Structures are given as C-alpha cells and as structure tokens.
C-alpha cells in the first residue's frame, strides 16, 4: 500500500455512535454552488462549469476555512480594542480570490494558504498582546475541578473579555464562577485570577457540555464557539454573548450580564463536591523561558530527549483516544507542551517533573499556539540550530477551522514532520496531500507506540 493509500485508509472514520464501523461514502471531487452557472442548478461536483478544477475548488475551500479561523482570533482581539489593517486587507483579498472567475491557479491558492498561515501568526500575536496587556502574563496555577456550595455560573468558550465582564458584575454577589472547556487558561491571568469568586472548572472539552450543563443546575454563558444546541433541561438557564447565538436562548447585549446573575441567584445553591482532580494551567512564555538554562543542561545531559507539543481541538471521534494513549506511553525523558481543548485527553495525568521542569506544560487556548512558536524559536536560539533541528515534535489534533489556520501557520514557518489527526482534513484530495507530504513531510497519526518510536528515533 502506498503512502497516500495508507493515509486514505486511516482516514476512514469509525462511527462515534457505539463504535460501530461505518463506511465512508465516496467523496465528491468538489462541491461549488456559488454562481448561477452551477451544474443542473444544484452544484458543480466533478469540474466547474466555469472551468474550475476540483483541486482549485478544494484549495479555495481550505483558504476560506483558514480565514474563518483567523477571523475568530481577530474578533477576540477586537473585543479588547486591538485590530490590524494588514490582516483585515488580507481577509478581503482572500475572500475575493474565491469569487467566481477570479483565480484558477492552484499554486496561487497554496501561496495564499501559506500567507493565511502568516496572517494567522500575526493575528495570534495580536490577540496574545491584547490578553497580556489587558490581564497580565499568565502564571502557572492549579485549578480545582468540582462544585463549591453556593449559586454558580459556568462560562464556556474563548472570550476572556466576556469572562472579565461577568466577573466584574458578579463580584460581591455570592455567586461562584466556573470555567468550562477553553476558558480554563483564564485562571492563569493575574487580571482574572484576582477575582476570588472565579473558583474552578466544571467539565472538560466542549463536547461534554450537554452532560456537564445538565449535571450542574446553574446559569451557563456561551462566549464563542464551541457551543452546542442546548438540551431542553438547561435551555432556559443558558445565555450567549458576542458571536455565539443559539435558538431559543437569551442573547446578552453589550456584556450586560444582569439576566444571567438573576437566573443564577434564582436557581440557588450547588452542593459541595470533593475535588478529586486539579488541573494546572497558565504557563506563559516568560515562565517557560525562565527555565531555559535548566532546559539546556537537561537536554545536553540527555535527561530531556524530546519536547512534544500535543494539542489542538478535541473531537468526539473514537480515534481521538490516540492522544491519551500517546501521552501515557511517552518515555520519561519527554516534556509535553499542550494547548486548546485537546489537552483534556490527558491533562488530569500526573506526569511529574524532570529536576523541576514539569513534564506537562499547559500553555493555554488554541490561539496560544503563538506561545509554542515563541518557545520553539527560543529553543533554536538556545541550541544554535534551525526550527527543524530542535528536539521538538508537533502532534496536532484538529476539529474545526481555527485548527486549519494554525496548521497553515506552522506550515508557513516551514515546520516539517508534524503529525495530524484524528482524521485528515476532508478538503484535502490526493493532489493536496501530495503537496503537504512532499513539501512538509506532514504525517497522519497512526499507532501511538509506533509513532513514539519514530519520534524518539
Ligand atoms: S463558480 Fe464555477 S464551480 Fe462554482 S458554481 Fe459557478 S460554475 Fe460551478
Ligand atoms: S480548541 Fe477548537 S474544538 Fe476546542 S473549544 Fe476551541 S475551537 Fe472548539
């Protein structure tokens, strides 16, 4: 079996319902229905009536997905008053290039995807600056998982601005505020952790929300993606703010959380739970780089053999169990950097430390991939080698379009030999995969033990 066949067979998903195998339907070569010429009035699926080739159509889709990812980070930066004209201009140009009869050149769309990667780096830097200037640089913090007696509000999503406004408005009201999913790293920011009623975390990654929000009868605020259509059990105590909106769910305007506070008080107390799990988060670039001399010594003495960035978007696919097994089976001489909600696959594990350097370092939300880039660059300086020679391997999980933007950012930095899963992006046909494999040595995740052997050499 050739490499592409291996990738394709790997890419056949198992059903997430009860683990039954399902056959993946044959993919369409392309799908485009954006203009009136569209085939049979329903969609061009083999080749565009305009002459657009399937690979161009898929590269256009990829560019749109990467731009969607960038726009999420840009939105959260703008919430805090930070904007970037160059990124705005790129987004316009990127969108425009996918209009009917504008650009039929596949190589240009690969260039545009790499440019999107660079623009995403710029945007993640902008958002990091916005977060740090607004709330200070994160510091490591232990976050208890479990309820505290008293009324509560769970905040989920990515918006630190929305969380800050919620914390300000609930201060002194006897309400405990909990994070869920991608708001966990908020606990590390001095400007947010100073609120004593930011008490902990309930639940884990985004897709446990129906279970978590049903279990805890408190008010819930969705601040961004990933929100799910709520169950009836908690629909009337759920709220959205900012870009997130859900049918039948009250939307908060201008960060005025009065209805949420009223609902939380009306719902009454949660019962105290034993805190069996504590999650550590909040490693900013400064904290990690303060360990640089020790890291150098440990790498040179062979006590640290490899840094591995394991992170990205978690998904409920059965194959995502790979990430738990992968981290569990890593040799002791490895340090895991992690970010985004993929971390919930393993962040409750106690991996210990190597002479004071923690073996599990949570650097934050998905946009904090920029911190990983800073650390990677610092490693190049520390060891006097190029990015592809530092003892760092990237193992990415992707679910939605922010991860597509991050993937192109890492490719734009010319990082080679990354692993990606739990399945390969659906927009990538064999032509595109060939380019990614040949130019970037992009690899699908496979068997955890085998991958570890390859990575460790
Ligand atoms: S832009 Fe081209 S591929 Fe898309 S619907 Fe129109 S004719 Fe078909
Ligand atoms: S990291 Fe990705 S999957 Fe997870 S909550 Fe954020 S956007 Fe959603």
Q: Tens of pLDDT along 361-372?
A: 999 999 999 999
Is the predicted pLDDT of residue 19 greater than 80, yes or no? Answer: no
340 ligand 2 Cβ < 6 A:
yes
Q: Tens of pLDDT along 282-329?
A: 999 999 999 999 999 999 999 999 999 999 999 999 999 999 999 999
401 ligand 2 Cβ < 6 A:
no
Contact 339, 365 (CB under 8 A): yes
- State how far the alpha carbon of 22 is from the alpha carbons of 8, 25, 421, in Å: 15, 9, 18
Confidence of residue 1 (pLDDT cuts 50, 70, 90): very low
Is the predicted pLDDT of residue 7 greater than 90, yes or no? Answer: no
- Determine how many CB atoms are found less than 10 A away from the CB of residue 191: 16
Query: Which of 66, 159, 181 has most ligand 2 atoms within 8 Å of its beta carbon, as the pocket-test mutant?
Result: 181
400 ligand 2 Cβ < 6 A:
yes
Buried b or exposed e, range 138-176, using 16+ CB within 10 angstroms: bbbbebbbbbbebbbbbbbbbbbbbbbbbbebbeeeebb
Ligand 1 centroid distance, CA of 432 (Å): 20
- Range in 35-49, 172-186, 214-228, 422-436 the model is least confident about: 422-436
pTM confidence score: 0.94
Let me know how long the chain is.
457
Q: What value does the mean pLDDT take over residues 112-127?
A: 98
What ligand 1 atom has the least distance to the C-alpha of 57? Answer: 3
What ligand 2 atom has the least distance to the C-alpha of 206? Answer: 5
Ligand 2 centroid distance, CA of 244 (Å): 13
Query: What pLDDT is stored for residue 272 in this prediction?
Result: 97
Interhelix angle 430-440/3-10, nearest 10 degrees = 120
Q: What is the CA radius of gyration of the chain?
A: 22
Q: Counting ligands in written order, which one lies closest to the CA of residue 57?
A: 1
Strands 353-354 and 357-358: antiparallel
Q: What's the mean per-residue pLDDT of the chain?
A: 94
Q: Tens of pLDDT along 187-235?
A: 999 999 999 999 999 999 999 999 999 999 999 999 999 999 999 999 9
Query: What pLDDT is stored for residue 231 in this prediction?
Result: 97
Here the tokens at position 133 are: 């200037």
Q: Counting ligands in written order, which one lies closest to the CA of residue 39?
A: 1
226 ligand 2 Cβ < 6 A:
yes
Q: CA 427, CA 436: separation in Å to the nearest integer?
A: 13
DSSP conformation letters of 357-425: EESEEEEESGGGHHHHHHHHHHHHHHHT--TTTSSEEEEEE--SHHHHHHHHHHHHTT--S-EEESS--
Closest residue by Cα to atom 1, ligand 1, is: 100
Query: What pLDDT is stored for residue 26 in this prediction?
Result: 65
- Determine how many CB atoms are found less than 10 A away from the CB of residue 199: 20
Query: What pLDDT is stored for residue 323 in this prediction?
Result: 98
79 ligand 2 Cβ < 6 A:
no
Ligand 2 centroid distance, CA of 228 (Å): 12
Cα–Cα–Cα angle for 194, 186, 214, rounded to 5 degrees: 110
Confidence of residue 110 (pLDDT cuts 50, 70, 90): very high
121 ligand 2 Cβ < 6 A:
no
Closest residue by Cα to atom 8, ligand 2, is: 226
Query: What pLDDT is stored for residue 28 in this prediction?
Result: 86
Ligand 1 centroid distance, CA of 411 (Å): 29
100 ligand 1 Cβ < 6 A:
yes
- pLDDT over 90, % of the chain: 91
Q: Counting ligands in written order, which one lies closest to the CA of residue 365?
A: 2
Closest residue by Cα to atom 3, ligand 1, is: 48
156 ligand 2 Cβ < 6 A:
no
Query: What pLDDT is stored for residue 6 in this prediction?
Result: 46
Q: Sort 128 into a burial class: Cβ within 10 Å, 0-12 / 13-18 / 19+.
A: buried
- State how far the alpha carbon of 412 is from the alpha carbons of 157, 373, 403, in Å: 27, 12, 14
Is the predicted pLDDT of residue 163 greater than 70, yes or no? Answer: yes
Q: Tens of pLDDT along 400-446?
A: 999 999 999 999 999 999 999 999 888 888 899 989 999 999 999 99
Query: What pLDDT is stored for residue 62 in this prediction?
Result: 97
Comparing CA positions, the residue from 187, 115, 174, 182 lying closest to residue 144 is: 187
Q: Counting ligands in written order, which one lies closest to the CA of residue 227?
A: 2
Contact 100, 242 (CB under 8 A): no
Ligand 2 centroid distance, CA of 398 (Å): 9
Ligand 2 centroid distance, CA of 207 (Å): 9
Query: What pLDDT is stored for residue 203 in this prediction?
Result: 97
Ligand 2 centroid distance, CA of 429 (Å): 24
368 ligand 2 Cβ < 6 A:
no
Is the predicted pLDDT of residue 351 greater than 90, yes or no? Answer: yes
- pLDDT over 70, % of the chain: 94
339 ligand 2 Cβ < 6 A:
no
Query: Which of 42, 48, 55 has most ligand 1 atoms within 8 Å of its beta carbon, as the pocket-test mutant?
Result: 48
Q: What value does the mean pLDDT take over residues 45-49?
A: 97
Is the predicted pLDDT of residue 179 greater than 60, yes or no? Answer: yes
Is the predicted pLDDT of residue 340 greater than 90, yes or no? Answer: yes
């Amino acid at each position: 079996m050739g490499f592409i066949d291996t990738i394709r067979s790997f890419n056949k998903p198992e059903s997430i319902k009860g683990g039954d195998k399902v056959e993946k339907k044959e993919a369409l070569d392309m799908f485009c229905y954006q203009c009136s010429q569209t085939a049979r009035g329903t969609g061009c699926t083999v080749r565009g009536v305009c002459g657009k080739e399937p690979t161009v159509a898929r590269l256009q889709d990829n560019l749109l997905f990467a731009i969607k990812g960038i726009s999420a980070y840009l939105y959260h930066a703008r919430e805090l008053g930070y904007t970037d004209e160059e990124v705005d201009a790129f987004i316009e140009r990127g969108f425009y290039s996918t209009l009917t009869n504008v650009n039929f050149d596949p190589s240009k769309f690969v260039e545009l995807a790499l440019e999107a990667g660079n623009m995403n780096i710029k945007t993640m830097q902008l958002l990091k600056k916005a977060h740090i200037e607004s709330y200070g640089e994160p510091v490591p913090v232990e976050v208890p998982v479990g309820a505290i007696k008293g009324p509560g509000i769970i905040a989920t999503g990515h918006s630190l601005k929305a969380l800050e406004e919620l914390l300000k408005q609930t201060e002194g009201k006897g309400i405990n505020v909990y994070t869920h999913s991608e708001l966990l790293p908020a606990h590390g920011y001095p400007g947010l952790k100073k609120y004593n009623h930011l008490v902990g975390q309930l639940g884990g990654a985004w897709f446990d929300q129906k279970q978590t929000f049903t279990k805890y009868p408190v008010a819930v605020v969705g601040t961004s993606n990933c929100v799910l259509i709520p169950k009836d059990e908690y629909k009337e105590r759920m709220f959205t703010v900012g870009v997130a909106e859900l049918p039948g769910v009250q939307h908060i305007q201008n960060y005025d959380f009065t209805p949420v506070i009223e609902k939380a008080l009306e719902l009454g107390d949660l019962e105290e739970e034993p805190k069996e799990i504590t999650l550590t988060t909040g490693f900013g670039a400064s904290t990690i780089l303060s360990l640089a001399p020790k890291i150098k010594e440990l790498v040179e003495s062979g006590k640290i053999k490899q840094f591995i960035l394991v992170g990205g978007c978690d998904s409920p696919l059965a194959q995502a169990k790979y990430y738990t097994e992968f981290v569990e089976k890593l040799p002791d001489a490895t340090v895991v950097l992690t970010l985004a909600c993929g971390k919930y696959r393993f962040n409750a594990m106690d991996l210990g430390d190597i002479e004071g350097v923690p073996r599990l370092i949570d650097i934050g939300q998905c946009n904090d991939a920029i911190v990983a880039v800073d650390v990677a660059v610092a490693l190049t300086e520390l060891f006097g080698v190029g990015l592809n020679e530092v003892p760092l391997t990237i193992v990415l999980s992707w679910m939605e379009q922010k991860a597509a933007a991050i993937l192109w950012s890492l490719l734009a930095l010319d990082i080679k030999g990354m692993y990606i899963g739990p399945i390969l992006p659906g927009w990538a046909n064999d032509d595109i995969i060939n380019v990614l494999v040949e130019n970037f040595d992009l690899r699908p995740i496979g068997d955890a033990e085998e991958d570890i052997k390859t990575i460790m050499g």
